[in-house]
Structure 1
Amino acid sequence: MPNKQFALAGLWMTAIVFAAITLVTYHNDLYNDGSMEVGFPFVFYRKSYGMNISTGEMGMAVSVKPRHLVKDMVIATLLSLGLLVLWNRFKKQPDR
């Protein structure tokens, strides 16, 4: 596989791997006074609702961590490049 084609495949594969990992590990427990968490292995987005028992007021907290998003994207890039290298290594070569 030429370098340009490998880079383009790596870019697409990174997006697909990142989306798949994020969707599979997405956790939404907002309906139970819990939290919604996005990201694996580092949670880069967290949203939670809760009620103060003594005052009865509802509150919301949102946390976004860009460093964790970048770390997750680097991990997805490494996984996708590893998968592409394995694919190229074990792909059957046509007879010449």
Structure 2
Amino acid sequence: MSPNDNLAWWSGMTEVLAAGMAEGSVRIERVHLAIADESFNILARIPVTRPVSNPVRLLHHGISRLSYRSVALAGCGLGRLAVALRQP
């Protein structure tokens, strides 16, 4: 295997892993928010926690979306870098 073949292999492997990272984080985000909504829906039905339930839900969902989408963006960037490295 020549050095160029080795670089192409690693670049391709990085691209595959980066795509998995990006797609995986989006799917995990959906699951996380769905599970969290179950808890927040219960808290919204309890009179004592009702006033703070929605603001906390909005804050939680915002932070979660930012976190998971940052990982997805990093995966996309890594994939593009891998493609760019393969170009002559």
Give the TM-score category using the shorter length: 0.3 to 0.5
What is the TM-score of this pair, normalised by structure 2? 0.42
Larger strand proportion of the pair: 1
